[in-house]
Structure 1
Amino acid sequence: MKKMIETLFIVTFMLVGMICVTACSDKLDVQQVYEFDLATLPVQTTIVKGEEAEIRCQLVRSGEYQDTKYFIRYFQPTGKGELRMEDGTVLLPNDLYPLPEETFRLYYKSLDTDQQKIDIYILDSFGQVVQKSFAFNNEEEDEKEDTE
């Protein structure tokens, strides 16, 4: 009887040990992909040909993975204009540019007298995309002076 209890104890101890060893994993579960959004301060909606509108932007991330890279591109479905970054880089439509900082400024210069719209896309290195649109109505110089 004593030998049977010892054998049962050893078998139970070995089963518990095997369960503990197989339940553990030496692989870390590192999350790399986090949702993000682009926050902007209010942007003017009227613009005169030749005038610049400032767009202040900040990436808002739900988490941070150090190796994540962010990129910007834009498309202009209506009107004509020029978008540049604060370092002076003029962005070409549909070309992809790296974003060096989480907080940045864009400057849109109107080159048209019609209504203008730009779509800004922020992409991360994992394929996630956030899109923001900005519309600018043309304001003639005479109208601007009359309202002041």
Structure 2
Amino acid sequence: MNIRNALPEDCPQLARLEAEVTQLPWSAAQYAGSLSAGHRFWVCEDEGGIVAWAVTLSVLDEAELLNIATAAPRQGRGLARALLDALCAGLAAQGCTLLRLEVRESNTRARRLYTSACFTESGVRKHYYRSANGREHAILMEKAL
């Protein structure tokens, strides 16, 4: 397993992979725009290609986790946790002291991951996400780095 910065040519693959695992996936154009805007992309790859990825935005000494996912066939194998640990260490090395994120209230698997990685709940954005049943709350979480 190798963790590296994403390249522009990774964007179509990231969009294809994310379309398999999320309700409202980013498009290749959204990934490319995010990359060109200076967001930091982290990809985890093995001999078969990209298997997990994350996007962060840093402002001064704080960062926000904008997106993190694992390819469907590779979920449940600790890849997201390894990637999360690596990006936390990388952000801390760059001088970031806090990482924030938001997660769908119904995404209990991700919430367990974040809690196990020492994130704590810091608030709620009511009716933030669109869902099949209307709207869903976003749980805000943060971690000191």
For Structure 1 versus Structure 2, the TM-score category normalised by the shorter chain is under 0.3
Give the TM-score of the pair, scaled to structure 2.
Answer: 0.25
Give the TM-score of the pair, scaled to structure 1.
Answer: 0.25
| Structure showing the higher helix proportion among its residues | 2
